[in-house]
């Protein structure tokens, strides 16, 4: 009987990650090499630099994951790799390396959709918690039930109905953003305020010092048919079912709020003494600020703006997610992806779930943002049913999840 050891490899965006997970339920190691320092001066991910950094990091990161897990390549049962969606050049580094390793070690290769990985971050954590509750007994699967999953990250804001059938998971798209992802809005707003990259953690840290009701940002109901006039939406996200087939109540749009923030900054002259937007962390040659330094430089109206932006985004995510859960009679909600690390989001989603009597789960903070443990965990059900990748596997930057 194999131990069920899967090496996961993730390189879809700006993190090179490798992890070893046993039977989709026990993380033996999880190594993440972040490229934040490389992209920081540009205020966003530069695809060419991302590929170069992945090339540099992939071998040491995989080696570190094996060493930390205390195993050799020969102990593995399979290799799993993110095949999309993401940056083509970045994905190719992980895929090429995973293919070479699998070929050399005569191991099966499993292709994993990055979004499915984010959903399995929550499932992995639950299996781990159950396994330790059971004091080493084999994890039971009783809570692996139909769930509404909100995947909210820098590249995606998607709602899926996730259902386990015969050991594998099936996904149907319920809602999605028509334009920017929520994390993208966080990153763009942080950039225009002169905060660091990625913007989410900065806004998360500063929002609690502002008044969330100071600026009344509003999200209007999306009328997809009128908006799109039958044309495909302008989106950088994965190709998925036609927008017209989705309930407009579960569609998101985050490009407007970014423009509204910019207009507010211009209108209210939110500038520091030198006439620049505060706190100008991105100014060339400046060392990154700490949160307290940024806080000292941020005038109260900027903090109020930050708090109001976050309050509005979290409110919109909540409204549509809970409406979808109710309409689909979902047993529970999973919230995952980088933005799920947000403190206000967790608190308000948890409070609303308890008010409505619906179960909700989040990954740990480390499992919320990109990592490879989630990729190895998502691969486990595939391994169990022998669903392996073809030898011509390649990167699919706009890979869709489910139907």
Our CB check for ligand KG4 shows the closer of 140 and 259 to be 259
Phi, psi of 171 (to 5 degrees): -130, 135
DSSP 166: T
Sequence length of the chain is 403
Q: How many CA atoms lie within 13 A of 244 on its CB side?
A: 7
Distance in angstroms (rounded) separating the CA atoms of residues 19 and 64: 9
Residue 179 near which of Zn ion, ligand KG4, none (CB within 5-8 Å, type-dependent) = none
Our CB check for ligand KG4 shows the closer of 45 and 76 to be 45
**Is residue 342 near ligand KG4 by the rule CB under 6 A?**
yes
**Is residue 85 near ligand KG4 by the rule CB under 6 A?**
no
**Is residue 128 near ligand KG4 by the rule CB under 6 A?**
no
- Per-residue tokens: 97: 């390396």
Q: Which of residues 186-245 bind ligand KG4 (CB under 6 A)?
A: 186-187, 198-201, 204
The distance of closest approach from Cβ of residue 119 to ligand KG4 in the complex, given in angstroms and rounded to an integer, is: 12
251, 177 Cβ separation under 8 angstroms = yes
With CA atoms as reference, report the closest residue to 151 among 31, 34, 324: 324
The distance of closest approach from Cβ of residue 17 to Zn ion in the complex, given in angstroms and rounded to an integer, is: 10
By CB under 5 A, name the one of 11, 30, 153, 308 that touches Zn ion.
153
3, 75 Cβ separation under 8 angstroms = yes
Residue 342 near which of ligand KG4, Zn ion, none (CB within 5-8 Å, type-dependent) = ligand KG4
Our CB check for ligand KG4 shows the closer of 22 and 370 to be 370
Residue 341 near which of Zn ion, ligand KG4, none (CB within 5-8 Å, type-dependent) = ligand KG4
Q: Which of residues 1-40 bind ligand KG4 (CB under 6 A)?
A: 13
- Helices (H) then strands (E): counts for the chain: 13, 10
43, 81 Cβ separation under 8 angstroms = no
Phi, psi of 239 (to 5 degrees): -70, 130
Q: Which of residues 134-173 bind ligand KG4 (CB under 6 A)?
A: 153-155
β-partners of residue 175 are: 159
Chain contacts with Zn ion (rule: CB under 5 A): 153, 370
Chain contacts with ligand KG4 (rule: CB under 6 A): 13, 153-155, 183, 186-187, 198-201, 204, 337-339, 341-342, 369-370
């Amino acid at each position: 009987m194999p131990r069920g050891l899967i090496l996961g490899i993730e390189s879809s965006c700006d993190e090179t990650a490798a992890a070893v997970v046993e039977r989709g339920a026990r993380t033996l190691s999880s190594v993440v090499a972040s490229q934040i320092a490389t992209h920081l001066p540009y205020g966003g991910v530069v695809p060419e630099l991302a590929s170069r950094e992945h090339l540099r990091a992939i071998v040491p990161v995989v080696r570190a994951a094996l060493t930390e897990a205390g195993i050799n390549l020969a102990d593995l049962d399979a290799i799993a790799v993110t095949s999309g969606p993401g940056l083509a050049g970045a994905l190719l580094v992980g895929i090429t390396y995973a293919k070479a390793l699998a070929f050399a070690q005569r191991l099966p290769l499993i292709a994993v959709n990055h979004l499915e990985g984010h959903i399995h971050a929550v499932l992995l954590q639950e299996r781990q918690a159950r396994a330790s509750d059971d004091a080493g007994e084999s994890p039971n699967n009783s809570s692996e039930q139909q769930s509404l999953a909100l995947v909210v990250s820098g590249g995606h804001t998607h709602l899926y109905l996730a259902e386990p059938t015969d050991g594998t998971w099936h996904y149907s798209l319920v809602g999605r953003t028509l334009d920017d992802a929520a994390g993208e809005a966080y990153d763009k707003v942080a950039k225009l305020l002169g905060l660091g990259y990625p913007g989410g953690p900065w806004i998360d840290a500063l929002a609690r010092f502002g008044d969330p009701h100071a600026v009344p940002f509003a999200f209007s109901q999306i009328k997809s048919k009128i908006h799109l006039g039958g044309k495909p939406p302008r989106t950088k996200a994965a190709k998925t079912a036609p927008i017209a087939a989705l309930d407009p109540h579960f569609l998101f749009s985050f490009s407007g709020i970014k423009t509204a923030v910019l207009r507010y900054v211009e209108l209210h002259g939110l500038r520091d003494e030198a006439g620049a937007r505060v706190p100008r962390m991105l100014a060339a040659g400046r060392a990154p600020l700490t949160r307290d330094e940024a806080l000292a430089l941020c005038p109260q109206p900027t903090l109020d703006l930050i708090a109001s932006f976050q309050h509005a985004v979290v409110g919109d995510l909540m409204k549509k997610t809970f409406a979808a859960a109710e309409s689909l009679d979902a047993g529970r909600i999973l919230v995952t992806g980088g933005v799920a690390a947000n403190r206000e989001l967790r608190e308000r989603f948890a409070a609303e779930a308890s008010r409505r009597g619906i179960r909700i789960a989040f990954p740990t903070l480390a499992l919320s943002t990109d990592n490879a443990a989630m990729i190895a965990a998502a691969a486990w059900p595939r391994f169990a049913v022998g669903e392996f990748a073809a030898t011509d596997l390649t990167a699919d930057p706009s890979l869709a999840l489910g139907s």
